[in-house]
Amino acid sequence: MSAPRTDKVFAGSVPALYESHLVPLIFDSYAADLARRVALRSVSRVLEIAAGTGVVTRKLAAVLPASVAIVATDLNQPMLDQAAEVGTPRPVEWRQADAMQLPFEDGVFDAVICQFGAMFFPEKSSAFSEARRVLKAGGAFIFNVWDRIEENDFAHTITKSLESMFPKDPPRFLARTPHGYHDLAAIERDLQRGGFSAASIVNTIAARSQAASPRAPAVAYCEGTPLRNEIEARDMSRLGEATDIAERAISRQFGLGPVDGKIQAHIITIER
């Protein structure tokens, strides 16, 4: 499935909803996992790419010594603005940057971190080549990607529910992009094409996605991600209806009260 330009657009009210709804729903535990992996290494300068609203950045700032410099970048300035508004436990450098063309010299970082951003790169091997370029010898590229959508309950349920609303052209953002880059053999090939020659270490980790009500994941996915762009492109007036349909689908499968669903991701570590 080819990805339209809007798959990478996080603007308007999306950054705030992403931070308030999606971060606690699916990102927080995996962010803590990435930060722990970095903290186990000897680092003095760390780069985060596709930092979004800064959930990993905040974890890194909390666990790494104050002497470790943290540079957090994202393609979308509105996401960085939201991240800066939330703040971090100590100063970090926020910088708008395209992962395909990083504005840094060769070999200046001990680790490059990316949480659920690789799926959005239009040319994965080129982005991986850039990550490798800015790493010092022996430095690590640590990133995670979502497993297939069928292993991620709320995303799968919501995607299926919207087929009834737009049967001729259902919105497929979640399956196409966030959950569209889970083939480990393909990821390994892209890393090799990007210049990495070491063997990668892969950990597949299942976790739980929990919310106080079915409304929370419905709003998170339908209004706090580029799925919103797809829905509004079909009919600008029907975003609220789409969110209601998603909420009802979550309610039918997971109940009317607090909801609990599976999420699963792959964590990849490879050294330069």
For 80, the domain range is 5-271
Binned at pLDDT 50, 70 and 90, residue 10 comes out as confident
pLDDT tens digits for 159-210?
999 999 999 999 999 999 999 999 999 999 999 999 999 999 999 999 999 9
3-state SS, residue 142: strand
Residue 24 makes CB contacts below 8 A (sequence gap 6+) with none
To the nearest 10 degrees (0 to 180), the angle between helices 153-161 and 239-254 is 130
Domain count, the chain: 1
CA angle (51 as vertex; 45, 66 as ends), nearest 5: 35
Measured between alpha carbons, how far is 152 from 171 in angstroms, rounded to an integer? 17
> For residue 1, what pLDDT is reported?
47
Edge to edge, the sheet with strand 45-49 lists 93-96, 69-74, 45-49, 109-115, 135-146, 259-271, 201-211
CATH of the domain at 66: 3.40.50.150
- 72 contacts 57 by C-beta, under 8 angstroms: yes
Q: What is the pTM of this model?
A: 0.94
- 251 contacts 33 by C-beta, under 8 angstroms: no
Q: What is the mean pLDDT of residues 150-162?
A: 98
Comparing CA positions, the residue from 204, 222, 216 lying closest to residue 263 is 204
Secondary structure tally for the chain: helices H, strands E: 11, 7
- Range 110-129 burial, b when 16+ CB lie within 10 A, else e: bbbbbbbbbbbbeebbbbbb
Measured between alpha carbons, how far is 162 from 231 in angstroms, rounded to an integer? 9
pLDDT tens digits for 74-128?
999 999 999 999 999 999 999 999 999 999 999 999 999 999 999 999 999 999 9
